[in-house]
Amino acid sequence: MILSGKLSRKITLKEVKASKGARSMIEAAGGKVEYTEKPAPVKKEKKKKEKKPEQAEEAPKAEASKS
């Protein structure tokens, strides 16, 4: 049992993460820890929305109403 600090036989862990201390105890007893790192998910880039042309048209309308 690893919690008590004793490992009496060799074991193999597959796809299980283990701390450095647990890994070293398992390897010292003749066992091994096999874990495959999974690639990080790829983030999709969001498309930026273009400004609406309405905002550009509002400025001339405001000037016309002042006259």
pLDDT of 64 strictly over 70 = no
Give pLDDT, residue 57: 55
pLDDT of residue 38: 81
How many angstroms separate the CA atoms of 28 and 31, rounded? 7
As a three-state string, the secondary structure of 20-65 is: HHHHHHHHHCCCEEECCCCCCCCCCCCCCCCCCHHHHHHHHHHHHH
Give the pLDDT score at 9: 85
Predicted pLDDT at 1: 47
Q: DSSP assignment, residue 3?
A: T
Q: Give me the pLDDT at residue 63, please.
A: 56
Q: What percentage of the chain carries pLDDT values higher than 70?
A: 69
Q: Give the span between the Cα atoms of 16 and 12, in whole angstroms.
A: 10
Average pLDDT over residues 7-33: 87
DSSP character at residue 12: E
